[in-house]
Amino acid sequence: MCGIVGYIGGKPAFPILLKGLKRLEYRGYDSAGVALLESTNLEVLKKKGKVSELEKLTETKTYSSTIGIGHTRWATHGEPSDKNAHPHYSSDQKLAIIHNGIIENYGALKTELSEKGYEFRSDTDTEVFITFIEDIKKTLDLTLEDAVRIALTKVVGAYAIVIMSTEEPDKLIAARKGSPMVIGLGKNEYYIASDASPIVEYTNEVIYMEDEQIAIITRNDLTIVDTKDVPQKAEIHKLDLKLESIEKGGYEHFMLKEIFEQPRSIADCMRGRLNATEGLLTLGGIRNYSEALTNAEKIVIVACGTSWHAGLVAEYIFEDLCRIPVEVEYASEFRYRNPVIREGDILIAISQSGETADTLAAIELAKSKGAIIFGVVNTVGSSISRITHEGAYLHAGPEIGVASTKAFTAQLTILAMIALRIASKKGTISESKYRELLVDLENIPAKVETALKSDDKVKEISSLFKDARNFLYLGRGYNFPVALEGALKLKEISYIHAEGYPAAEMKHGPIALIDENMPVVFIATRDSSYDKIVSNIQEVKSRKGKVIAIVTEGDVLIPKMADHTIEVPATHEALMPLVSVIPLQLLSYHIAVMRGANVDQPRNLAKSVTVE
């Protein structure tokens, strides 16, 4: 996924673009660049590396331009390099483009253009894209917007693009399909970006572009048409994003801020939805399909990464409380394996960004076969939130750190509320158990607050294991998906190989890995499989494994066995993942920091994978 930003108005564009790119850097950070129109001269500045490298390149320069475009890249076609950085420009250097997405038929287009004599400076699909537009514009003698519109009817793939031209220096053309784009409305000025974070400090009025829409933007006018040139009505939304929510707020990293935000983000997720004292649980976002959900014969959950782990926890909760069979699928597998989907089947799509390409594709497939789609999404106005039949926003606030933390616990909160709503309506749990679970859920923010108090102890343990080459994470029942999540957190930000496993599965092979150099993290809180996991700890200890155990506060047995223990407050086992994951988030964070890794922007990753 890449970050795109554009500006046209009365203010100097360059500072706005640079600041916007810094706010979007979590979306991709292997190279960055800007293009400015200095009168009719196209100035393109771009550099491999982070936005700070681009900033160094321009330290001694000032630009008067009040129109420009900027891009921060997560490479798809062509390695990270100066030449492959965006913006790209046409062969006659009159057009410049920034692009988030993939043009799948770029190869055929490149061959066709090469045969016409065009040459290419980079390895990217984007340069082919702008050259294709250049060729159409010249051959058919069209305006920029008409050339772009014709080109969009011929390219295959996903795009969020902004284009400008030296021949029409008071105009930006923007278009999207399958990649997000937001337009901020100012006074005789417009801001364009992949999401609202670069826009929020200038205006709270935004338009979320729809797929296959083209925006023609001048300082005084915004026109939106579709690829058939049919004018489109644009709905203006008020942003509820606050500037401080996209800043670090005194924390060293966004990830640490977001870990410590969880008591509030979980509370925000329940606000207006859960009132345990009154026994009230209202989820407006699923009202229209509540019957379908309650009477579902099967629920399929599709997601990727951490969101998939949330889906696994949901499987345990839905089957345990609602007695509805659940299948949890990697979206990337589901979309290609010709799954059995029947009219009326229920599909729940879980996604923090709401832009994950595989999850989007899985939804489209299920929708085409008549399934009812629920979204559990954090980013308001995101693509997934716009194509689902119903759903619930997490209200966790923007999650900037690439490693998902507060979105995960918010997803679990929403899924627990949906399960409780269904179980209560179906009568698969007693009224007293329902009320008890509502109280337990309402108390989770305070329990997470308590779990966060183990931060110093976790930091101390982290220093002992920061140089480990491998880790194992083991859990049972509701804590098995937590083991997977803890392993993913560690590997994606510290680059240490880590595996999550059901604890009982160790004896079927992986126990061969155990020796004095293998740290094993057990999520061993008091629940229905406690005695079994105690045995598993003994099996590891008897083979000299080093054991770090997450235990329920007051546990006196496991601290005698494990090398290190971290206590978390007791809660109902169905809600324990919300609490037991906290020390694992902190463990991965501290180890990564001690290893000098880039915690918020780990190598090779991006915050949302909007390509296949």
Positions marked catalytic: 2, 607
**Residues whose CB falls within 8 Å of the CB of residue 209, separated by 6 or more in sequence, listed in order:** 160, 174, 175, 176, 180, 181, 182, 183, 215, 224
Out of 304, 400, 448, 574, which residue is the one contacting ligand AGP (CB under 6 A)? 304
Q: DSSP assignment, residue 320?
A: I
- Smallest gap, in angstroms, from Cβ of residue 258 to ligand AGP? 11
Under the binding rule (CB under 6 A), the answer on residue 609 touching ligand AGP is: yes
Does 317 help bind ligand AGP (rule: CB under 6 A)? no
Binding part of the chain for ligand AGP, among 186-194, 217-225, 292-300, 301-309 by CB under 6 A, reads 301-309
Q: Which of 488, 474, 480 is nearest to 592 (CA)?
A: 488
- Residue in this structure with the two tokens 């870990």, named with its chain if needed: 259
Q: Cβ contacts of residue 401 below 8 Å, gap of 6+?
A: 26, 253, 254, 255, 257, 258, 599, 600
Cis peptide before 87 (omega within 30 of 0): yes
Give yes or no for residue 402 binding ligand AGP (CB under 6 A): yes
Q: Which is nearer to ligand AGP, 374 or 434 (CB)?
A: 374
Residues 345-364 touching ligand AGP, rule: CB under 6 A, are 351-353, 356, 359
**Residue number with the shortest CB distance to ligand AGP?**
305
- State the minimum distance, in angstroms, from the CB of residue 609 to ligand AGP: 5
List all residues 6 or more positions away from 19 whose beta carbon is below 8 Å from its beta carbon. Answer: 198
CA dihedral 548, 551, 555, 557 (to 10 degrees): -40
Buried b (16+ CB within 10 A) or exposed e, 41-79: ebbbbbbbbbbebbeebeeeeebebbbbbbbbbbbbbbe
Q: How far is the CB of 418 from ligand AGP (least distance, A)?
A: 17
608 binds ligand AGP (CB under 6 A): yes
91 binds ligand AGP (CB under 6 A): no
Please name the residues in contact with 77: beta carbons below 8 A apart, sequence gap of 6 or more.
84, 102, 106, 123, 124, 125, 126
Distance CA 140, CA 160 (A): 24
Residue 306 interacting with ligand AGP (CB under 6 A): yes
Identify the residue among 6, 28, 305, 500 touching ligand AGP (CB under 6 A): 305
Query: Is the dihedral angle over the CA atoms 353, 355, 361, 367 positive or is it negative?
Result: positive
Q: Considering only residues 469-498, where is the footprint of ligand AGP by CB under 6 A? A: 492
Using CB under 6 A, which of 65, 126, 131, 307 touches ligand AGP? 307
Is the CB of 308 or the CB of 522 nearer to ligand AGP? 308
Verify binding: residue 404, ligand AGP, rule CB under 6 A: yes
Judged by beta carbon, residue 339 or residue 398, the one nearer ligand AGP is 398
Total interface residues for ligand AGP by CB under 6 A? 15
Nearer to ligand AGP, 307 or 529 (CB): 307
Residues in touch with ligand AGP (CB under 6 A): 304-307, 351-353, 356, 359, 402-404, 492, 608-609
